[in-house]
A and B are shown apart, each in its own frame.
Chain A
Amino acid sequence: MVSVDPLATERWRSIRRLTDRDTAYKVPWFNPGPKNFEAVQNVKVLVIGAGGLGCELLKNLALSGFRSIDVIDMDTIDVSNLNRQFLFREADVGKSKAEVAAAFVEQRVSGCHVTAHNCRIEDKDPDFYRRFSMVICGLDSIPARRWINGMLCDLVLEHADGTPDMSTIIPMIDGGTEGFKGNARVIYPKMSACIDCTIDLYPPQVNFPLCTIAHTPRLPEHCVEYIKVVVWPEQKPFEGAALDADDPEHVEWVLQGALLRAEKYNIRGVDRRLTSGVLKRIIPAVASTNAVIAASCALEALKLATNIAKPIDNYLNFTQIHGAYTSVVSMSKDESCHVCNGGRLPIEVSSTYTLEELINSLMERYHLKNPTLETAQRKLFCISLLFPQLEEESKANLHLFLKDIVADGDEILVSDEVLARAITLRINFV
């Protein structure tokens, strides 16, 4: 009798080799069989971002059998994307990334349906996100990551006994890249370490102090920042338009100004590349790192959908400057994380603790930019263009002792642009 390969002409043969056959290296609930592949074909997944990681993710998911993919991205295509965002061509410059990417993948991978959403992730409501079995992120922004992380945590319902309803947990796979480094992680909202649990993994953003920029510049970057932050608002070129770092004429204007300043201070190194890098906070990027990290993410998505292998637990680091190196570490859930634990964050303060000290400590702990603190009765600290009348009072409040502002057991609500949701502090005086 001659054996015949049952999958000889099967389009998805490679995946079926793994879904249909048993393995010693499985998750306990793996049952070999074609149903595992049907599962992939029937779920809806969401890809956030259609850029360097997003393009790769769409390709990888489509070629792993996923057929219902949604992709969301508010950006338009730029020529500098073309060295890695391979679903786009020169003729596409200016068009919506999500739309072009979706159309390309649909055309190339027959049977795959990709729905584009040319908008911000914040423009979609919980009902939108609820539909998906998995969310895979290829974002370039930490606040955006925190936002979707918060959204998915909010979608998790609890049983009467307080334990999470597993059927409402939507796994989030998150990838990030920079140059030749990257990371990929798997998050089970409310169950495992979330973005906010590990917020300290992200280094604080480099911001040049204003006094250096204005009075003691040393680096070419300081010269560029000076033009951006001081000269442009003063001189209001281009009929008072806001500085648009994507407009080559604006960049040129800044460059000329920066060159003059550099000359004055005898600083070398100002050129167009440096100028646009500073203005746009450009992160260098290559195709290969995005390929690797997106493949890592999609592999985990495939594992979660089919159970063909164990998902990583739970955070992968990758670097390719010296050789190629990847390692996986298990990040722990932070039991005091305000995002995935819900409820109030009790904090103990001494009687000499001032509002300023509280704010500084919160800014450091949660990487805040410009927090607003308020109680049920009043706003304690709020610097905002929307409430200019509060600025003076807020600054005066900084020196006050907390014991004079709130009572023991009172709650203070802390909100900030980087937080997915406000933090509620319960103050306990010790």
Chain B
Amino acid sequence: MVTSKLFDPSNRYDRQVRLWGEDGQASIGSTSACVLGSDSLATETLKSLVLAGVQSFYIVDDARVEQVDIGQNFFLHIDDIGRPRAEATLEKLTELNPSVLGSSSCQSPTALTQEDVEKLATFSVVVAVNQTEEVDAKFAQVLYDISVPFVCIKSFGLIGTIRICIKEHTIANSHEENPRPDLRLDAPFKKLTEMIAETDLNDMTIEQLRHTPYILLHFKALEEFRKQRNDEKAFPTTTSDRKEIQQILLSFRRSKEDSGTKDSENFDEAKAAVMRAFQKTTLQIGASVKSILTSSQCSTSTQPFWLICEALRRFVDANNGLLPLRGTLPDMTSDSSRYTRLATMFHEKALADAQEVLRFTREVEKERGVGDVISEEVCYRFCKNADRIRVQNGDLLDYSRETKEIVAKIREITVDEQTRAEKVDSATWMLLMRAAGRFKKEKGRFPGTNGVPVSIDAQDLRKRVEALIKESVKENEDIQPMLHNVTDSAMAEMCRFGAAELHVISSYVGGIASQEIIKLATNQYVPIDNTFVFDGHTQESATFKL
């Protein structure tokens, strides 16, 4: 075992900090999670949050540990039978990470008063696990208006669902995959223009030509393109324009003396990059960013995200429709000095742009009467990811409105008979989940849980399905088209499940849910918007916005 002065306890988080950065880790470290319920779905969700290093968690559940819990929940031991489940699981969860604070209450989530609920609204996030619709709705109502994210997670046999409830969620970095590099081909800044002017491909040795970074080759090709059209402002806009650029690039190549080949990595890279690189930057901000900058929140809110968005908007106005330069250069074949010169100038321009955004930010802060809320570091990071900002909006959780939407989807299902017999559509599972909840509310137990044959409980479940559909459609509307898509087999399957709490399903859904909670806490990556359904039969999932 290596013990050295370089041993740093924060190394625990190294592998995850490489994904969401120290700032993301700091956000997680100031997150407090309130979890209603302590079954395996709840503990599997908590597991990943505790491991990730949240500040604290609080479990609310009046359940006592039973035999069946031992066969499902990893955070219980056979010796825990009879103990309050919230306490017993708490012990084993806090063990996972000594820096996380955990506590519990043996109250029943269903018995919480309005006052209790409001107290729990001081958490960063509230998670309701396999709670009744009444509990979900009660919490949703309170949390929606004060913008505390509320996540409802459920599982039933091989099915799992997650519903994320939040009025407005701002994302400072979506971590969009394969974004276009910000190379400013149509709007080079001063230092870049100077370097392009200094570059003469004809005045280079072959060695120098072959080590010319492709961004310079692109600019030279653009010069030629403009010369050929006798138009200083010309810029490729069609695929055939870009193909022309590719031809121009290839014409710049020179053969190597010994092998006679013109092949050269930098030219290959240049050609391959043309389609993506030659897109206009000015006045071409992506639609999502544009709508954020023009939203009413931007012009009035005092939330840090919106303050800096307003500053960004002013920057864009003052800079010919350009976002601050991102500042990173993709790697490309090049000699060291030219690549580092380019990398440095891009970096410095990005810093300068971020400084300008910071000046605007201070203006906005002053105008809106808040102190210096945004730090230079936050501003710099925000600017770097300016093309990656997103906002999600959601409606208040409302089961009857949402069932209408689900029933409408079920009506639209058109699959062949074989598929209908072999697979159950996600919308159908959602309706069946609700029907099972109704069944429990009305009969005091879930279908398939007391020895009554599945076929009989299926009849009773069907009654709840029909009722839900009827409530969701106009009076006298024919419900057969919907019922047709909620097959007897699917209803029987729900009864077969008998509210089974399969550990593997709890683990799967808990894993997904925990990362969604981390997305909400860090304002990085894009959360599910807003309903996720998982089917263990097919291991397929669907996402709905309800």
Closest Cβ–Cβ distance, residue A257 to chain B (whole Å): 16
Closest Cβ–Cβ distance, residue A110 to chain B (whole Å): 5
Contacts of B496 in A (CB 8 A): 17-18, 21-23
Closest Cβ–Cβ distance, residue B341 to chain A (whole Å): 8
- With contacts A17-B157, A323-B527 taken as known, whether A217 is within 8 angstroms of B336 at the C-beta atoms is yes
Complex interface: stretch among B11-19, B233-241, B434-442: B11-19
Complex interface: stretch among A324-332, A359-367, A410-418: A324-332
Do B449 and A5 touch across chains, with their CB atoms under 8 A apart? yes
Do B9 and A320 touch across chains, with their CB atoms under 8 A apart? no
Closest Cβ–Cβ distance, residue A51 to chain B (whole Å): 11
- With contacts A18-B157, A294-B507 taken as known, whether A310 is within 8 angstroms of B537 at the C-beta atoms is yes
How far is it, in angstroms, between the C-alpha of A218 and the C-alpha of B333 when the chains are bound?
Answer: 9
Q: Which residue of A lies closest to B97 (CB)?
A: A82
Q: Which residue of A lies closest to B335 (CB)?
A: A216
Contacts of B176 in A (CB 8 A): 322
Q: Check B251 for interface membership: any CB of A closer than 8 A.
A: no
Q: Binary interface profile of A, 249-283, with partner B (CB < 8 Å = 1, else 0)?
A: 10110000000000001111000010011000011
Complex interface: stretch among A85-93, A129-137, A155-163, A383-391: A85-93
Q: Which residue of B lies closest to A24 (CB)?
A: B489
Complex interface: stretch among B68-76, B224-232, B393-401, B402-410: B68-76
- With contacts A292-B512, A299-B539 taken as known, whether A64 is within 8 angstroms of B503 at the C-beta atoms is yes
Contacts of A302 in B (CB 8 A): 502, 504
Closest Cβ–Cβ distance, residue B73 to chain A (whole Å): 8
Closest Cβ–Cβ distance, residue B7 to chain A (whole Å): 7
- With contacts A265-B340, A291-B514 taken as known, whether A247 is within 8 angstroms of B2 at the C-beta atoms is yes
Do B68 and A60 touch across chains, with their CB atoms under 8 A apart? no
Contacts of B211 in A (CB 8 A): 216
Q: Binary interface profile of A, 196-239, with partner B (CB < 8 Å = 1, else 0)?
A: 00000000000000000001111100000000000000000000
Complex interface: stretch among B46-54, B193-201, B284-292: B46-54
Q: Check A167 for interface membership: any CB of B closer than 8 A.
A: no
Q: Check A241 for interface membership: any CB of B closer than 8 A.
A: no
Q: Check A180 for interface membership: any CB of B closer than 8 A.
A: yes
Do A17 and B450 touch across chains, with their CB atoms under 8 A apart? no
Identify which of residues 493-532 in chain B touch chain A, using a CB-to-CB cut-off of 8 Å. 493, 496-505, 507-508, 510-512, 514-516, 518, 525-529, 532
Which among B51, B175, B489, B498 is the interface contact of A83 at CB below 8 angstroms? Answer: B51
Do A324 and B532 touch across chains, with their CB atoms under 8 A apart? yes
Q: Check A117 for interface membership: any CB of B closer than 8 A.
A: no
Q: Binary interface profile of B, 149-181, with partner A (CB < 8 Å = 1, else 0)?
A: 000000001100000000000000011110000
- With contacts A180-B19, A295-B505, A309-B537 taken as known, whether A25 is within 8 angstroms of B493 at the C-beta atoms is yes
Q: Check B536 for interface membership: any CB of A closer than 8 A.
A: yes
Q: Check A382 for interface membership: any CB of B closer than 8 A.
A: no
Q: Check A145 for interface membership: any CB of B closer than 8 A.
A: no
Do B528 and A219 touch across chains, with their CB atoms under 8 A apart? no
Do B335 and A25 touch across chains, with their CB atoms under 8 A apart? no
Closest Cβ–Cβ distance, residue B162 to chain A (whole Å): 8
How far is it, in angstroms, between the C-alpha of A14 and the C-alpha of B67 when the chains are bound?
Answer: 11
Closest Cβ–Cβ distance, residue B429 to chain A (whole Å): 12
Q: Which residue of A lies closest to B176 (CB)?
A: A322
Contacts of A324 in B (CB 8 A): 512, 515-516, 528, 532, 541, 543
Do A282 and B18 touch across chains, with their CB atoms under 8 A apart? yes
Q: Binary interface profile of A, 282-323, with partner B (CB < 8 Å = 1, else 0)?
A: 111111111110111011101000000110100010001111
How far is it, in angstroms, between the C-alpha of A324 and the C-alpha of B541 when the chains are bound?
Answer: 8
Do A86 and B96 touch across chains, with their CB atoms under 8 A apart? yes
Do A291 and B510 touch across chains, with their CB atoms under 8 A apart? yes
How far is it, in angstroms, between the C-alpha of A5 and the C-alpha of B451 when the chains are bound?
Answer: 4
Q: Which residue of B lies closest to A291 (CB)?
A: B511
Identify which of residues 321-349 in chain A touch chain B, using a CB-to-CB cut-off of 8 Å. 321-328
How far is it, in angstroms, between the C-alpha of A277 and the C-alpha of B14 when the chains are bound?
Answer: 10
Do B515 and A328 touch across chains, with their CB atoms under 8 A apart? no
Q: Which residue of B lies closest to A63 (CB)?
A: B503
Contacts of A60 in B (CB 8 A): 503-504, 507
Contacts of B259 in A (CB 8 A): none
Do B347 and A268 touch across chains, with their CB atoms under 8 A apart? yes
Which among B12, B339, B452, B512 is the interface contact of A79 at CB below 8 angstroms? Answer: B12
Contacts of B73 in A (CB 8 A): 63
Q: Check A80 for interface membership: any CB of B closer than 8 A.
A: yes
Contacts of B77 in A (CB 8 A): 108, 110
Of A65, A276, A284, A292, most buried by chain B (CB within 10 Å of CB) is A292
Which among A12, A65, A286 is the interface contact of B19 at CB below 8 angstroms? Answer: A286
Do A180 and B504 touch across chains, with their CB atoms under 8 A apart? no
Contacts of B47 in A (CB 8 A): 86, 287, 291
Which among B15, B40, B489, B543 is the interface contact of A284 at CB below 8 angstroms? Answer: B15
Q: Check B538 for interface membership: any CB of A closer than 8 A.
A: yes
How far is it, in angstroms, between the C-alpha of A23 and the C-alpha of B492 when the chains are bound?
Answer: 8
Do B511 and A23 touch across chains, with their CB atoms under 8 A apart? no
Which among A5, A13, A110 is the interface contact of B500 at CB below 8 angstroms? Answer: A13
How far is it, in angstroms, between the C-alpha of A297 and the C-alpha of B528 when the chains are bound?
Answer: 23
Which among B11, B72, B516, B518 is the interface contact of A14 at CB below 8 angstroms? Answer: B72
Contacts of A56 in B (CB 8 A): 507
Identify which of residues 435-478 in chain B touch chain A, using a CB-to-CB cut-off of 8 Å. 448-452, 454
Q: Which residue of A lies closest to B74 (CB)?
A: A59
Closest Cβ–Cβ distance, residue A180 to chain B (whole Å): 7
Contacts of B492 in A (CB 8 A): 23-24
Q: Which residue of A lies closest to B76 (CB)?
A: A108
Q: Which residue of B lies closest to A3 (CB)?
A: B451
Do A287 and B450 touch across chains, with their CB atoms under 8 A apart? no
Q: Check A84 for interface membership: any CB of B closer than 8 A.
A: yes
- With contacts A83-B51, A287-B48, A309-B158 taken as known, whether A249 is within 8 angstroms of B507 at the C-beta atoms is no
Contacts of B257 in A (CB 8 A): none
Contacts of B294 in A (CB 8 A): none
Q: Which residue of A lies closest to B177 (CB)?
A: A321
Which among B40, B95, B500 is the interface contact of A15 at CB below 8 angstroms? Answer: B500
Contacts of A5 in B (CB 8 A): 449-451
Q: Check A33 for interface membership: any CB of B closer than 8 A.
A: no
- With contacts A286-B15, A289-B515, A291-B44 taken as known, whether A17 is within 8 angstroms of B497 at the C-beta atoms is yes
Contacts of A273 in B (CB 8 A): 14, 17-18
Q: Check A409 for interface membership: any CB of B closer than 8 A.
A: no
Do B340 and A286 touch across chains, with their CB atoms under 8 A apart? no
Do B498 and A17 touch across chains, with their CB atoms under 8 A apart? yes
- With contacts A86-B47, A312-B539, A323-B528 taken as known, whether A64 is within 8 angstroms of B504 at the C-beta atoms is yes
Which among B6, B72, B422, B537 is the interface contact of A249 at CB below 8 angstroms? Answer: B6
How far is it, in angstroms, between the C-alpha of A248 and the C-alpha of B1 when the chains are bound?
Answer: 12
Q: Check A376 for interface membership: any CB of B closer than 8 A.
A: no
Contacts of B423 in A (CB 8 A): 25
Closest Cβ–Cβ distance, residue A273 to chain B (whole Å): 7
Contacts of B96 in A (CB 8 A): 86
Identify which of residues 63-103 in chain A touch chain B, using a CB-to-CB cut-off of 8 Å. 63-65, 79-80, 82-84, 86, 89-90, 93-94
Q: Which residue of A lies closest to B10 (CB)?
A: A79
Q: Check B421 for interface membership: any CB of A closer than 8 A.
A: yes
How far is it, in angstroms, between the C-alpha of A52 and the C-alpha of B141 when the chains are bound?
Answer: 38
Q: Check A4 for interface membership: any CB of B closer than 8 A.
A: yes
Taking A110-B78, A291-B514 as given, write out 17 further A-B residue pairs in contact, using a Cβ cutoff of 8 Å, ordered by the A residue number: A3-B451, A11-B71, A14-B72, A17-B496, A22-B496, A25-B424, A65-B71, A84-B51, A265-B337, A268-B343, A268-B347, A286-B19, A291-B511, A299-B508, A309-B537, A321-B175, A328-B539
Query: Can you name 25 A-B pairs with beta carbons within 8 Å?
Result: A5-B449, A5-B451, A14-B502, A23-B496, A24-B489, A79-B12, A83-B12, A86-B47, A108-B77, A184-B539, A215-B336, A251-B6, A266-B344, A267-B340, A268-B343, A273-B14, A291-B508, A296-B539, A302-B502, A309-B158, A309-B536, A312-B538, A322-B174, A324-B515, A328-B539
* A residues in contact (CB < 8 Å) with B: 3-6, 9-15, 17-18, 21-25, 56, 59-60, 62-65, 79-80, 82-84, 86, 89-90, 93-94, 108-110, 179-180, 184, 215-219, 246-249, 251-252, 265-268, 273, 276-277, 282-292, 294-296, 298-300, 302, 309-310, 312, 316, 320-328
